[in-house]
Amino acid sequence: MTASDPRLRAGEPLLMGRSAPTGVGLIPPLSAARWLLVLIVAAGVYFFHGFLVPVLAALVIAFASWPLYRRLLVAVDGSRTIAAAIAILAIIGFLVVPIVLAATYATNEVRIWVQWAIETNRDGAPTPDWIATLPAVGEWLDAQWARHIGHPGAIGELIQIVSGANIGNIYRALLAAGGGAFSLLLTLLFMLIALFFTYRDGEAFVAQVDRLGERIFPMRWERLSRVVPATISSTVTGMTLIAIGEGVVLGVAYWLAGVPSPVTLGALTGLMALIPGGAPLSFTLVSIYLVASGSWMAGLALFAWGSIELFIVDKTLRPKLVGGPIKLPFLPTFFGLIGGVKTMGLLGLFIGPVLMALLVAIWREWVREVVAGDDAAQTLADAAVSTELRPGADQPPAAFGG
């Protein structure tokens, strides 16, 4: 009903009365904006969750390499597009070269194993001494070797039996492996695209996020937001240093113990050290090999040395390096690493500690506020008590001229 309605001009009474305009909404604007932002983020996560892993991987790499990127940006006179392109080429080289080397090494190893399998299938092969001399299970393994592998033609018969009975499973496994390789390639491509735009437009986006974060979490956003990049950078740096250190230290121990190919085993141990439980598994298997080969003292000494080194690293170095500015204790660091790997694989090694660091930071922030509130209340209470106990505090003031 508008002002031009004839009933208003005629002065007729309205059924519900004239509505009074009001400027107060049902929901405060700031609260509505927060809920709208939460809904938009939830919808984005739901529709684009397939891109979550490559985007997180790009953010992890960007946070860890940002100091180097800043130097590169200065070197190219501030051209963000050129700097981002050079950084992406460097990342590709850093990823492609190790993959090519690992593929070459794996191809050579597979060729050696295939040649051994052909010769064993043609001539047969006795049970290796280190398998036959294993305590408790050596005799049984020796019998199984002689039955399934040792005589001429055994490997061919075994392959024929396995392939004939499980041809469908093998076909499905090959299809799944091909699909997994294609998915990994797409993930890598999306990660590189996201990383390029993170390098190029990262500072502008961070500035926008900071302005929005200050509106949502005033007086707290600056402290909480700086936890994420610092924790990621320290986690990447710390875990890389720990992996290199464990690879070198245990590689030297392998060499002193007389293990074949100590350099290769040391490099594999360093790679396994990135995964929680990987380093102890590596030196334990090498120690078992030494014991089964007859080198009891070397095997036990290697196991003792690896256990002591692992205890020192996990109790002292890892919490200091992985926790970042929050300085996570051992238990949250351990839970962050294990939970991250279990949930997100290798990427979880860096996301897990970040989430634990945020949780610890929020917890400490709340505790600090509670302590500050209690101290303020105690100060006011002490001031009130001292005012009541002061002489003459309750007496009325004397009359003028009294």
Phi, psi of 263 (to 5 degrees): -65, -45
Residue of 364, 367, 371 whose CA lies nearest to 325: 364
Residue of 236, 243, 233 whose CA lies nearest to 310: 243
Q: What is the pLDDT of residue 166?
A: 58
Mean pLDDT of the chain: 76
Q: Tell me the DSSP string of 53-111.
A: HHHHHHHHHHHHHHHHHHHHHHHTTT-HHHHHHHHHHHHHHHHHHHHHHHHHHHHHHHH
Convert the pLDDT of each residue in 355-376 to its tens digit.
777 777 778 777 887 887 787 8
Q: What is the pLDDT of residue 95?
A: 73
Convert the pLDDT of each residue in 208-249 to its tens digit.
888 877 777 777 777 777 777 777 777 777 777 788 888 888
Is residue 331 predicted with pLDDT exceeding 80? Answer: no
Is residue 79 predicted with pLDDT exceeding 70? Answer: yes
**pLDDT band for position 171 (cuts 50, 70, 90):** low
Kindly tell me the burial class for residue 259, based on how many C-beta atoms sit within 10 Å of its own C-beta (0-12, 13-18, 19 or more). Answer: buried
Can you tell me the distance from the alpha carbon of 85 to that of 93, in angstroms, rounded to the nearest whole number?
A: 12
Can you tell me the distance from the alpha carbon of 82 to that of 203, in angstroms, rounded to the nearest whole number?
A: 16
Can you tell me the distance from the alpha carbon of 319 to that of 322, in angstroms, rounded to the nearest whole number?
A: 5
17 Cβ partners below 8 Å, 6+ apart? none
Contact indicator for 94, 104 with CB cutoff of 8 Å: no
Report the percent of the chain where pLDDT is more than 70. Answer: 81
Contact indicator for 56, 351 with CB cutoff of 8 Å: yes
Convert the pLDDT of each residue in 107-134 to its tens digit.
777 788 788 888 877 777 787 776 777 7
CB half-sphere exposure, 61, CA atoms < 13 A: 25
What is the H or E stretch that residue 188 is in? helix 167-216
Residue of 151, 146, 173, 152 whose CA lies nearest to 162: 173
Convert the pLDDT of each residue in 267-322 to its tens digit.
888 888 877 778 888 888 888 888 877 788 888 888 888 888 888 877 777 666 66
Residue of 236, 202, 220 whose CA lies nearest to 366: 220
What is the model's pTM?
0.61
Helix 167-216 with 80-123: angle, nearest 10 deg? 160
Q: What is the pLDDT of residue 4?
A: 53
Domain boundaries, the chain: 50-216
Looking up tokens 């090959």 gives: 174
Convert the pLDDT of each residue in 31-46 to its tens digit.
677 778 788 888 887 8
